[in-house]
Amino acid sequence: MTQGNCPSCGAAVEFTAGSAQVLVCGHCQTVVAKKGLDLEAHGKIGAIVDTYSPLRLHVEGRVDGEGYRVVGHLQKDHGEGLWDEWYVEFDSGRTAWLSEAEGAWYLLFAEGSAADLQLKELVPGHRFRFKEYRLREHQLVVEERGYGRVVAAEGQLPQDLDPSVDSHYVDATSARGLFVTLDFGQWGSNPDIFMGRKLKLEELGIPPDQLRPKVKKVALQQARCTQCNGPLELRAPDQSKRVACPYCGALLHVRKGGSLAFLQLLEKPDHPFRLSLGAKGILDDTPWIIIGMMVRSCTVEGVRYPWDEYLLYNPERGFTWLMDSNGHWVFLTPLEAGLVSVAPGVAAHMMGKRYRAFQRVTAVTETVLGEFYWTVTAGETATTEEYVAPPHSVNVEGTGKEVTYTRGEYLAPEVVREAFKLKEPLPEPQGIAPSQPNPHPSPATWSWALVWGAVLLAVYLGVNILAANEKVLDKVVRLSPDARSGTATAVWFSEPFEIRKRGNVRVELSAAVNNGWFGLEGELLNQENGEVIGFYEEVGFYSGSDSDGSWSEGSQSETEFLSSVSPGRYVLRAQASFDRRPDAYRIGLVSDTPRFLWFFWGLVLLALVPVLSLFRASSFESARWSESNLGSDS
């Protein structure tokens, strides 16, 4: 511990953190540095501005079972607003930085430097690995590249402060939830590496009684538009950086301290929004409130395609989006870039799932209403890419400074209506959305057909097993040399035979014909009730040779089925017809025999449903991908 007096004002100062090299005098804001046993004044730094952070100096917490204490506090500015960074010292002597962004907390530890990295190469979306072996396992994706300078400080800090220079940084994430900040300082290479992870406020292990109450910007809550004096009911005043007046369209900047300053007058939307500012709804089991609304658009081949976006806010989960495009609704939640692997214009992969590239456009912000956590302006542009695996999508939106990833989930209008308890139904969607589920899911119908096909096969096999297949007649009939085709001389009567069970009777006819035909007109005569069942069967066989070689066609045997033959005692009358009289023919009758044909037609009928569904599904997909401006064959 080093104690002494501030070289500037003489107030007592004390270094309690072993890692601290400077401290900020709480009386005169002088930066006091240790030089051996002496203290030196290194100029003055601005006083901390209240940003309504729940943290404060000397707060103690516990992460992963180890206690820590907040010993220093920086505020940085990049011209568009302040952000806080807290310097913490653990019980073991380790130190870390704790920062807050959009409701999430990042605890980062120093991991040395990376001599091989150049700031100019680390553009948003760039993927890289450290060359150093112990850090090489992480593939990182650059999410943001920016700069800022220290404008205010308090407490004890590990190094000197220079409020006159900008410090450049790069934020990146990995697939394993790793968050990395590369601090280049005022240079373009050899950045210091800080690695850690994102935490929720409750995961910081700080007792609730040590946290500052979440005091809202009362002045801003009760603010009025500086242009039209309309009342502005703000829902997230602690995090808002821009406010767009819903009455006159004035875009207002939120100054330090909560006052508003006029920036520009925006055009009002050319259509009413389907949801309203302040509307509350539950999506993803989380209550949300709509705090901002935007009209964005893109232009493709000279045609403007507008859509609406709603900024949703929840104090614990932060911000997310709900998009309405031609009545198609998509719920968008932020993703860490490291979770997604992207082959630009081809596909994106996340958690083992492939998302096919659908479109790349330049989105233009046309109109804004409500509150926004960034310094939104009308006319700002961003390059957006959409990768789809209905009903989900991965969306990549990049500017020159940062790239953001979101995961979309397609919602039916009825889901949105129910979520926000709307009285009137929402309009029916027009056209097909990129991530809209196909309403004709052929896999499901194929599964249905396979199940019923299996049932049908089981029934068929069962019927075959239970069938008698009894041969009631098997006779070789010799024709008289005097037999003439189709006359009484070619008629033959069988001996009586018994058919014991109602069912199909299979007729089997064969004759040794060659280059000729043989027909048999038969009648089954029921001797008990006089019923007559007639049939005709014919065989024909032809063969020969020509310039192409030998050939043959036809068959010397055929079968025919007689349906629903009643049990009884029968006699078969058979009259032969022929062009060349064979010496004999064979006739057989098998009773109670199943017929394969009904099983075949059953399968055909079952296949019709999935085939029709496949056709409709294919038509739907063709219509969807006809709207894609990326490779439809990707």
Give residue 375's pLDDT: 79
Q: Does residue 633 carry a pLDDT above 70?
A: no
Q: Does residue 293 carry a pLDDT above 90?
A: yes
CATH code (residue 486) = 2.60.120.380
pLDDT confidence tier of residue 634, bands split at 50, 70 and 90:
very low
- Give the global pTM: 0.71
Average pLDDT over residues 384-396: 96
Same domain, 21 and 116: yes
Q: Which of 183, 210, 237 is the last residue of a domain?
A: 210
Task: Copy the structure tokens of residue 517.
Answer: 């035909």
Q: Residue 581: CA atoms inside 13 Å, Cβ hemisphere, count?
A: 15
CA distances from 584 to 185, 300, 387, 473 (A): 107, 81, 74, 16
Quick: pLDDT tens for 270-287.
889 999 988 999 999 999
Residue 604, in any domain of the structure: no
Give residue 101's pLDDT: 76
Q: Which of 210, 240, 275 is the last residue of a domain?
A: 210
Q: Is 236 helix (H, G, I), strand (E, B) or coil?
A: coil
Same domain, 199 and 103: yes
Residue 403, in any domain of the structure: yes
Same domain, 182 and 121: yes
Instruction: Check: CB of residue 378 under 8 Å from CB of residue 251.
Output: yes
- Secondary structure of 84-111 as H, E, C letters: EEEEEEECCCCEEEEEEECCEEEEEEEE
- How far apart CA 344 and CA 342 sit, in angstroms, is 6
Give residue 256's pLDDT: 62
pLDDT confidence tier of residue 609, bands split at 50, 70 and 90:
confident
pLDDT confidence tier of residue 395, bands split at 50, 70 and 90:
very high
307 vs 632 pLDDT, higher one: 307
**Tokens 């450049």, residue located:** 168
Residue 609, in any domain of the structure: no
Quick: pLDDT tens for 294-326.
999 999 889 999 999 999 998 888 899 999 999
Give residue 96's pLDDT: 96
The helix (run of H) or strand (run of E) holding residue 597 is helix 596-625
Residue 24, in any domain of the structure: yes
Instruction: Check: CB of residue 218 under 8 Å from CB of residue 238.
Output: no
Quick: pLDDT tens for 180-198.
999 999 888 999 999 999 8
Give residue 213's pLDDT: 67
Q: Does residue 469 carry a pLDDT above 60?
A: yes
Q: Does residue 605 carry a pLDDT above 80?
A: yes
Same domain, 102 and 188: yes
Q: Does residue 257 carry a pLDDT above 70?
A: no
- How far apart CA 184 and CA 114 sit, in angstroms, is 10
Same domain, 416 and 474: no
Quick: pLDDT tens for 526-554.
999 999 999 999 999 999 998 889 999 99
Question: Structurally, how many domains does the chain consist of?
Answer: 3
Residue 389, in any domain of the structure: yes
The residue range of the domain holding 494 is 470-593
Same domain, 555 and 409: no
Average pLDDT over residues 79-89: 86
CB within 8 Å of 314: residues ≥ 6 apart: 286, 287, 288, 289, 320
Residue 306, in any domain of the structure: yes
Q: Does residue 102 carry a pLDDT above 90?
A: no
Same domain, 404 and 480: no
Same domain, 45 and 193: yes
User: What is the chain's mean pLDDT, rounded?
Assistant: 89
Residue 238, in any domain of the structure: no
Q: What percent of the chain has pLDDT over 70?
A: 96
Give residue 136's pLDDT: 75
The helix (run of H) or strand (run of E) holding residue 404 is strand 403-411
Average pLDDT over residues 611-617: 87
Same domain, 379 and 479: no
Task: Copy the structure tokens of residue 306.
Answer: 């507008």
Same domain, 497 and 416: no
